[in-house]
Amino acid sequence: MFAKTVLDNGIRIVSHEMPEHRSVSLGIWVESGSRHESDAQNGLSHFIEHLLFKGTERRSAAQIAEEMDAVGGVINAFTSKEHTCYYAKVLDENLPLAIDLLTDIFLHSMFDAEEIERERSVILQEISQSEDTPDDYVHDLFSLDFFKDHPIARPICGREKTVTSFQREDILSFFKSRYRPRRVIVSAAGNFRHDALVHEIGARLGSVKDAFDGQRTASLEGESVPEMGSGVFPHKKALEQVHLCLGVAGIHQSDPKRYVAYVLNTLLGGGMSSRLFQEIREKRGKAYSVYSFSTSYKDVGYLGVYAGTSLESTEEVVDLVAKELQKLAAGDVTDEELRRTQGQLVGSMMLGLESTDSWMSHIARNEIYFGKTVTTEEICQRIRAVSRDDVVQLGNELFRADAMTLTLLGDFSEKFQLKNLSMDN
């Protein structure tokens, strides 16, 4: 059973009662992420996410961890481009503790100066670790190349220069301006009653005021629709392999064609039976890891392909990827392939929603992007309704040689970059 209640101050509470489960997952979501930062603020949303676990007026950082560990629960958080989430998963009998812990860190974090300096060091190590993980780092580089100078392009963790510059007053000012009631969603899934949850959340968060009440409609940094680039962007780094992302403009979160995009992405590179995996890894042995990915935001998205290959095989792999895109756009899709892909999508989605934490995220994202619950029945029906012509038409719209962005990370020579790599086929 799904339910939604809006408190007087604008905080939304969405829930999915699942009485057959023994767990409850609870999340506090804020509609503010790294795309809502200026260049100088890049990384502040992520920094704040870390700091909220570093002590409140009632609890030290160690006590927060100890109280959750004592009941076998999980408490954590993540920052994305468009939102930040603080969540906990506990047995149903321990839901009061989860509510108390999450609302405590959300309302009463101290932002202690010494903790800020310690966490600054941790985040700088996190940035270094990301840059030392090339199959992740190339995605950050691709985003920068693809979205040009728009805030959505920048890395969620920030950059060494920005993270080093943040002062306590910068953090507090950003927190106060972004963590406002009308941008907050409380999402829960599991064995509980919605009315009881609303009562408990309302008692803790219902009196929170908007410090910027007169600016509720003011737009955030990064709200403009980003422009998307194209071209070849080599990034030199001493590595054994070349890591590459080849991408095109895709589908935004609420686009009616999103179900077609799900099928197209899965068919192209969404599993071991996908075209890219079979052609590039299984038949030719040119890559250990190759897959496609679809990333969607509220107003824009992209569909891309990742591969890690040898320096000598880079040009061939790019050519093979481009040929698979061309084949799809030309209508080379069988009915059997389409049915298999639809079954894969429906099955993986339903299996992924067997836990309360996945449902908690699912209903929160539905509220953020659609303002309502989208049922699994509707999603399955829409996926099954995608036709071969739908897939081919979308492939034709997206896979244009003049609109592709190719990001490369590896130890290649200047001559190799400029002479041998081309988007033309």
Token pair recorded at residue 247: 């991408």
Q: Is 48 in a helix, a strand, or coil?
A: helix
Instruction: Write the single-letter amino acid at 194.
Output: H
Which stretch of DSSP H or E encloses residue 96? helix 95-108
Residue 75 to residues 32, 49, 69, 98, 400: CA-CA distances in angstroms? Answer: 20, 12, 9, 8, 44
Over the range 298-309, which residues count as b (16 or more CB within 10 Å of their CB) and which as e?
Answer: bebbbbbbbbbb
Residues 37/43/49/54 CA torsion (nearest 10 deg): -130
Which stretch of DSSP H or E encloses residue 38? none
DSSP for 114-181? HHHHHHHHHHHHHHHHHHT-HHHHHHHHHHHHHHTTSGGGS-TT--HHHHHH--HHHHHHHHHHH--G
Whether the CB-CB separation of 59 and 275 falls below 8 Å is answered with no
Check residue 422 and report its DSSP letter: -
Residues 358/364/365/368 CA torsion (nearest 10 deg): 180
Q: How far apart are CA 234 and CA 311, in angstroms?
A: 13
> Which residue is catalytic, options 49, 115, 119, 324?
49
Residue 88's nearest CA partner among 74, 77, 100 is: 74
Q: How far apart are CA 224 and CA 237, in angstroms?
A: 33
Q: How far apart are CA 29 and CA 300, in angstroms?
A: 21
Q: How far apart are CA 103 and CA 97, in angstroms?
A: 10
Half-sphere exposure of 387 (CA within 13 A, CB side): 3
Question: Beta strands 405-410 and 231-236: pairing type?
Answer: parallel
Neighbours of 254 (CB within 10 A): 12
Q: Clarify whether 378 is annotated catalytic.
A: no
Strand partners, 235: 409
The residues that are catalytic are 49
